[in-house]
Chain A
């Protein structure tokens, strides 16, 4: 890593003044949710720390997390790639493909053994390793092989953190999270479907500038700086909740007045994220501001946690438990895996609920 220039040197080479560096550090400190007075320490870390190697593994995912991180505006993914990290492998973003790409990963691992950072998006199917492969290597094998020499792993997106949508009932691929497989490495979970772009880049930047020990995580492995409070805690509609003023439909007077969306199924009270303060699309808005309740996408099993339009006080449906019981029963009877899979698929089709716009408005 000694041959990789430090950020101030890179900026100087590109004609960017020290003022530009100060501006970058102030913005990065703000994005990392650190107190502004720590900006000089951020600057010092960037001045003295070599850019570490990062290997990004995309498994069973929709590429939404990568799509989102490329929209991060402060710091941008370009900032990270060119200034803070050395992104040595990311099969969606890199130009190389096939053997050349895999050689890049192997070379980065060899050159930085024990020191590189692995970022994972997507869940890992263990029902049949062939469900998701890269260059003929199953996700399970690639994760185990790459994690072995890693300093730490960052699981971005709810799929990598908790299994996400692939893990949703009936979980046809046997999708699991990174922490279900890797148990001997530090893992930071940055959930969300997708996570807020600058939360992803900021966690990476904090890890790279201040180290793993600087990131305090909750019991679900999420950085407290971004997942310490519920969306409800910081929601601008919270005063309406406190006064008992709720929208009852998406087009009633309460909705037009911007009242609380709790009765329309908002999961803000049980969902930890900074959506209400950091917001989306360069700080423009977030779902609740756009008039729709929070889906709770930073929490485990959000897809199976009852209906999106059912208030939190309404008990969640029983279909997830029923599904698990059926799988267990099938295994006990010695039913072949394929048959279980077909049964799961049939049950999922039967349980599938069609929701139209009328339902969305009146179902509560």
Chain B
């Protein structure tokens, strides 16, 4: 039973006496309770521009065609509260239309207005748009939309995808008052259920006899028409879910969205037969798959690439060196096309002829080339950060969107992830830092931890200052790990010097930049180092008597990235990061130190992050050291305030000034 307080002017929901007793959903098509029409704001979130009153889905199986299908009847009802919620009056339904794999039928839509009027949409109000060869979108908008309108629509979506049933999202960008997903699964199929999210989903499950299932020629011999069958009736429901608002520094919002997924684990036609199997059978099957394992050892599938590699490795015996050459070859010759895909789209050799390939294709070609050259390499599948968390409980391959190479060099195993030439071997792309990957080893498949390498940067600033307040000196930067890869990406070859110079000019608009020097731009295994001479006229202010200097030329944060007061979801950083700034200043003649910032040393609990700031005078020099380091990757909402505060303290400290005074 959902309890609600009654507040004047705000509507009370009595309709949802949800006992979960297996009754059909409470809201009938076309019957809008007057209180829903009168409602002007939603108690649970008065800022909501619209709310989903009900989102109901009922899934049945249909066996009348050759391929069994699922049919999902969806009934959605939305209350528009404000003009800013009018966007929810524009609806689009996307489905996989290629070869009738999915289809939409029985689309109905009606709008009800507070004055009691209602309008039903006609056939010509629904627009069908072919997105590409595979996908189609149906779009429509409600006429006479007003603040106060209740809109509802229903449709049936059939799908031949019975391995994974349609996923159900309980949470949306606007609050959801009631969301329910009901499934009637014939006893022939067994599914595993995965629930996720911060909000409770009530679930129920019971077996119902003599349930009519539509069937036909798929089970010839049993005749056409309905047949009674035992079904597993499952029901998931959740109520009063808050709006899901996008937050930064996160893997993907889908990781936190309340939802339920179902995956086929077995069939029970005459006796139980596992479909999902286990990780081991999945690995075996993958290695026998024409778009995954088979081409890896079929040299005719990548002959051209192999032919091009051969002369490069002809005289090389060292495994590491050979691996490096092949890794470079793939990176230099084939561009990542920007798509994530864990398998081979078409043929491995197309990657080389087209000079462009999806993420998994690149690495599968890399593995094939390594293997042909006698190097041990296996595919490692994973879901990237933006694609979402993985489960290792069930062998669900559809969760993966990327494949990397796991390569043995001597006694060491390295992850190789081709796709751009700024990362050395052993450094997967940042999006792949999603804690683990599944090694597709035919004999011993297993989950392998993906440990993020650290990023680190050191800035050495060596300056003197004249009595006008002009700073003259040199800044030298040294970047390692992911920081090096990122800098190399930003400053890549050719215009590197110019880009560095522009970068400094952006930071110090009036500065003169000269003598830009770059080291190890292309040696990805080495730290990336560059330096420049700078003449900065406007960072210190001189009154003659006093000189005020902002000594931190390169700040850890320009502004606090954590601006919001509160946070609902964790902050998730991809890799640990640290930076150290060392500033050396030669004091001008006749000036003495009047004021120096005090030393500061702070740590977040458990050493999650730390900051150290210190300035001291050494003879005629001032020396400032500022180090920031983030060691922990994930900060829970409860830790958010202290993380925010930590960054504030750094910003504040790094903006403190040094005061010099003319000697009397």
Q: Do A and B form a real pair?
A: no
Residues on A close to B: CB < 8 A?
Answer: none
Which B residues are within 8 Å of any A CB, using their own CB? none
